[in-house]
Amino acid sequence: MAAEPAGFGRLGVAARAFGMLCALGFIVLLGYGVLTQSPDTTIDDALAAKRAPAAPGFALAVLTSGVPGDGLQSVWRAAARDGSVDLRELRGVPVVLNVWASWCIPCREEAALLQRGWESARRQGVLFVGLNQQDARNDAMTFIREFRQDYPNVRDPSNQTSRRWGVAGIPETFFITARGDIVSHVIGTVSAEQLRDGVAAARRSQALGAQDGGEQRPTR
């Protein structure tokens, strides 16, 4: 039997090594993809332990200023005067933060409920803020006009802000105390009872925990 050329043997070893490197690279990329797609559970883990974690910060462009009402107007105007709002600038008033997009069907289903909840909550000194994400500005404005929502909204063209908050889909709603701590989180469409209880918890600084709501859509 003829001996295998030395060059052929070296080529085979190199090919096997290259194949192993490709497989290892695929595994690394797959693991990175899983980690980057997995939502951050820090907020919900704290709420499950009946602790109220500090709300992650954001500084986002104002989409609409709405009609905050007498007790909240000065706070919102001061925060929004430069065209963007830093969440820390809203300290001193409880905040209900709703993450939404115009293309999200469940967001449309809860829109009228949120407006009714806002009309009640602003009389109690609680500020509603919508966080519009992954959306065209004109589409977002059309949505707000359609549902006659007159609470303020900020805008993130990406989903980077909501990822820091552990948002896996939309809609999601967070209830934040005047000190900037999260006391409740509703995952999916919020019910009237969840909205009412969340507003009360934000006013009292009482941790309620994370709750399952109705339907939601994956972020894009």
Whichever domain contains 175, its CATH number is 3.40.30.10
Write the Ramachandran bin of 205: left for phi over 0, alpha for psi from -120 to 50, otherwise beta. Answer: left
Q: Average pLDDT of 20-33?
A: 40
Q: What's the CA gap between 86 and 99, in Å, rounded?
A: 16
Identify whether residues 60 and 25 lie together within a single domain.
no
Query: Which residue range is the domain that position 172 belongs to?
Result: 42-218
Q: Are residues 145 and 164 in the same domain?
A: yes
pTM of structure: 0.83
Say whether both 18 and 100 belong to one domain: no
92 shares its domain with 34 = no
Question: Which spans in the chain are helix H?
Answer: 6-37, 42-48, 70-80, 105-121, 137-146, 160-164, 192-204
If asked whether residues 66 and 145 sit together in one domain, one would say yes
Name the region of 162 (left: φ>0; alpha: ψ -120 to 50; beta: rest). alpha
In angstroms, rounded to a whole number, what is the distance separating the alpha carbons of residues 136 and 80? 21
Distance CA 155, CA 166 (A): 17
What span, in angstroms and rounded, lies between the C-alpha atoms of 193 and 189? Answer: 12
Q: pLDDT for 48-102, tens place per residue?
A: 999 999 999 999 999 999 999 888 999 999 999 999 999 999 999 999 999 999 9
Name the phi and psi angles at 158, rounded to 5.
Answer: -100, -160
Measured distance CA(173)–CA(201) in Å, rounded: 13
Query: Tokens 């194949």 belong to which residue?
Result: 19
pLDDT in tens, 122-180: 999 999 999 999 999 999 999 999 999 999 999 999 999 999 999 989 999 999 999 99
Same-domain status, 46 and 102: yes
- Estimate to the nearest angstrom the gap between the alpha carbon of 111 and the chain centroid: 16
52/124 same-domain check: yes
Say if residue 23 is in the same domain as residue 59.
no
Statement to judge: residues 70 and 151 lie in one domain:
yes
What pLDDT score was predicted for residue 10? 54
Based on the domain organization, do 147 and 132 belong to the same domain? yes
122 in Cβ contact with 71 (< 8 Å): yes
Q: Does one domain contain both 70 and 12?
A: no
pLDDT attached to residue 209: 92
Produce one character per residue of 130-147: b if its CB has 16 or more CB atoms within 10 Å, e if not: bbbbbbeeeebbebbeee
Q: What is the domain count for the chain?
A: 2
Spatial separation of the C-alpha atoms in residues 213 and 97, rounded to whole Å: 15
pLDDT given at position 71? 85
Same-domain pairing of 17 and 55: no
